Amino acid sequence: MIKKQPNINLGAAVLFVIFGLLFFIVLFRYFSIEFTGEVGGQPLAAKAAQKYKREGTLTAQRGSIYDRNGEVVAEDTAAYDLVAILSKKMTTNPKKPMNVVDPRKTASELAKYIKLSESEIYSILTKKQFQVEFGSAGKDISSDTKDKIEKLHLPGITFIRDSTRFYPNGIFASHLVGYADPVEQKDGTYKTVGKMGIEKTLNKELTGKDGKIDYQSDLWGYLLPSGKQKITPAQNGNDVYLSIDKKIQTFLEDAMNKVDQEYKPKKMIAIVADPKTGEILGMAQRPTFAPKTKEGIENSWQNLAVETSFEPGSTMKVFTLSAAVQENVFNPNETYPSGKYLVTPKSPPVYDWNKNGWGNITFLEGVQRSSNVGFARIANEKLGFDRFREYLTKFAFDKPTGIELPNEAAGKILYQYPIEKANTAFGQGTAITPIEQIQAATAVANDGKMIKPHVVNKIVNHDTGETILQTKPEVVGTPISAETAKKVRDILETVITSPKGTGSRYKIEGYSVAGKTGTAQIPDPKGGYLTGPSNYVFSFLGMAPKDDPKLLVYVAVQQPNVDDYTKGSIPVSEIFDPVMKNSLQYLNIQPSKQEKAVANQLPDLNGQSVDQAVKSFKQQGIETVVLGKGSKILAQLPKAGSTIIEGEKVIIQTDGDITVPDMTGWSLRDVMKVAKLAGLKLTTSGNGYVVNQNMKTGAPLHQGDALIVDLITPEEQLKNNASSNQNGSGNDSSGKKNGGN
């Protein structure tokens, strides 16, 4: 019989005690948790909920941007980010690999569809990571490209669905609309943020608020059948409806493309507005850029219509004229000596753009010919510089308009010295923005009421369709009366219709246009102004129809590729004319009815009083020239019963001695009337309008005398003047030349 060792019994006893204690501890812990529901002072249910609870993001959609008629201008659209799974752990079935197994082949195939070289893709695919992305080249993949890549069945290549900003019209009011880009947030996610234009100004309104979903899942992330869900819906961004009309904007873009291609100017700006409401119907510039690809943006970061101010040139004369008419100091028939003017005895002289002027002319002719001297005199002698300065503020040239676009600049009015004040009257020295000119011009087009410009019509809740904001016309001043506005429009119409006017290129068949040309010099960084045939900003500010303007258009073209100064208005007119005409027709604005001018049917003046005849014609707007110092009329041309054309003169012969009239600027038609009535032998040289005559003004005329006149076309005269100016003539003491027409 074998005896048990005492030590074995003792060991067994110890083990029994130890396991017994462990059992009682486990039993105690079980009942403790059962009754208290806590572990380590923490609720067990909360621990379980935390372990199995999941949270997902419901991405909000950025609001869309539409034109005034609901045409899409910018919207979010589906896009995909390219991803490559590199970890072999993702493959459970070797026959169906879920990771990249052949980096070389995969790189070769992907290089056909994304903007990375094969070697760059191979380098990414051979990294020691779980998964990789391909930077900007792998983002915003279109559905079409995604489908093509998926058809290759490349193992490990997959896509993450995302959204991107889409601009379906390409280059279309790009600086006004702007663009939005994804920006990385602190938590590593990306959020679309507006960077320019309306996308930037209304970024808060366009940006939605992400929602979320809370749910319970198993260890593998699958939703538990009995799990509870809590959903906070996403709030999509609001939709913005612009005042821009897609059709009118397209007219603008097409015309600017044509001019850009043919004349290659350094810069161009064009704005189309409704003067009754302040709505901007079109706004474009060159250089421009493509919002989606950003191609060209390095050349055009600024919205030139809003963010830059420059010397406007003679379009500024519209507002000097308006002030003078409002103050009742503009007498269209009063004459003054053109050519040169000294504001003060010590001031540099103001020159007309053609240096020599046109002799003694009326202030109306000064407007038509765009005489700098005439407008300097109006500001100094008629209005007075202090009162003129008040009108610059009334027209709001010294503050931003408040249009819904970022970084708006304000005008810079140089108004310290007398010469600066005179120069401002015809648009030199002082700098203003194009949008300020549009706002000020609404007062002329809208019977004195100046309307704030805007580019947003309304903001609408994307989810409910409720209108959150509706823009209404806002009167921001009344610098002139309705009567003044009408008179100014009538005068500005003659800039286009008169043979003496500088705006003949802006005639539009069937419509009456009122407007003003501008030719502004460009400051030279070295001092003074740039010289050369194309170193100007050529512009036009016009409205139509004249009696009740429905559209207001401003066009400026800087340094077009032209071989002489006289051709600068051609590219401007090639934008203004088609845009204005096509837009009026698109808006169903009926052409003006051409009424017969019964008042221009001349009566028989033989034997009548000279004074009465002249007074009667003046009331009808007909210019008369009296030959002789008598009181009774002996003969007339045109003859009684004739209908005269606009701008034509009526020549009256009296019973007194006949003297030589000043025929500078006359048409050959009018010169021939004088020759016929006085019995002169007429000899002419050239075509166009008179620039020289052999007989001295005021000298007695006798039958049979020889009258010799030299004529020249306006284009030839402009070319000669430009050539003279380029040789240094017409400069003031600071090296500056006075602005053009």
The DSSP call for residue 64 is P
pLDDT at 277: 97
DSSP 538-581: EEEEEEESTTS--EEEEEEEES-S-SSGGGTHHHHHHHHHHHHH
Q: In degrees rounded to 5, what are phi and psi of residue 333?
A: -95, -5
Q: What long-range pairs does 87-96 form, CB within 8 A, spacing at least 24?
A: 87/129, 87/130, 87/131, 90/156
Q: Decide: helix, strand or coil at residue 256.
A: helix
d(CA 372, CA 317): 9
Per-run averaged pLDDT (10 residues), the chain, 741 residues: 59 71 69 57 50 60 94 89 87 86 92 92 90 86 88 90 86 95 77 93 91 57 52 86 96 96 96 98 96 90 95 97 97 95 94 91 96 97 97 96 96 94 95 98 98 98 94 97 97 94 93 95 85 90 96 97 84 96 92 52 78 77 80 81 72 82 83 83 77 85 83 62 45 44 68
Cα distances from 17 to residues 7, 21, 26, in angstroms, run: 16, 6, 14
The DSSP call for residue 702 is -
Instruction: Provide the token pair at 198.
Output: 């309306």
Report the candidate in 398, 390, 399 with the shortest Cα–Cα distance to residue 327.
390
pLDDT at 228: 56
Phi-psi region of 140 (alpha: psi -120 to 50; beta: other; left: phi over 0): left
pLDDT at 210: 76
Evaluate whether 311 touches 430 at the Cβ level (below 8 Å).
Answer: yes
Q: Where are the alpha helices (DSSP H) in 92-245?
A: 103-110, 118-125, 143-150, 174-177, 197-201, 203-206
DSSP 616-681: HHHHTT--EEEESS-SBEEEEESPTT-BPPTTPPEEEEESS--B----TT-BHHHHHHHHHHHT-E
Instruction: Provide the token pair at 80.
Output: 């995909």
Enter the CATH code of domain 62-207.
3.90.1310.10
Other Cβ atoms closer than 10 A to 727: 8
d(CA 58, CA 213): 7
The residues with which 267 forms a beta bridge, in sequence order, are 558
Cα distances from 585 to residues 279, 511, 547, 550, in angstroms, run: 18, 10, 17, 11
d(CA 262, CA 562): 10
Phi-psi region of 588 (alpha: psi -120 to 50; beta: other; left: phi over 0): left
Q: What share of the chain is helix, strand, coil (3-state, %, to 5)?
A: 35, 25, 40
Active-site positions? 314
Other Cβ atoms closer than 10 A to 482: 12
d(CA 572, CA 262): 12
pLDDT at 28: 65
Say which CATH class 598-720 falls into. alpha beta
Q: In degrees rounded to 5, what are phi and psi of residue 287?
A: -70, 155
d(CA 200, CA 66): 15
Report the candidate in 229, 233, 181, 213 with the shortest Cα–Cα distance to residue 60.
233
Instruction: Provide the token pair at 365.
Output: 């002719």
The DSSP call for residue 364 is H
Any idea which fold 266-586 has?
Beta-lactamase (3.40.710)
Evaluate whether 216 touches 227 at the Cβ level (below 8 Å).
Answer: yes
Evaluate whether 198 touches 172 at the Cβ level (below 8 Å).
Answer: no
d(CA 575, CA 577): 6
Instruction: Provide the token pair at 68.
Output: 């005034």
Residue 447 CB contacts under 8 Å (≥ 6 apart), including other chains: 482, 485, 486
- Flag whether the pTM goes above 0.75: no
Cα distances from 53 to residues 44, 98, 234, 405, 542, in angstroms, run: 14, 28, 20, 45, 67
CA 106 to chain centre: 48
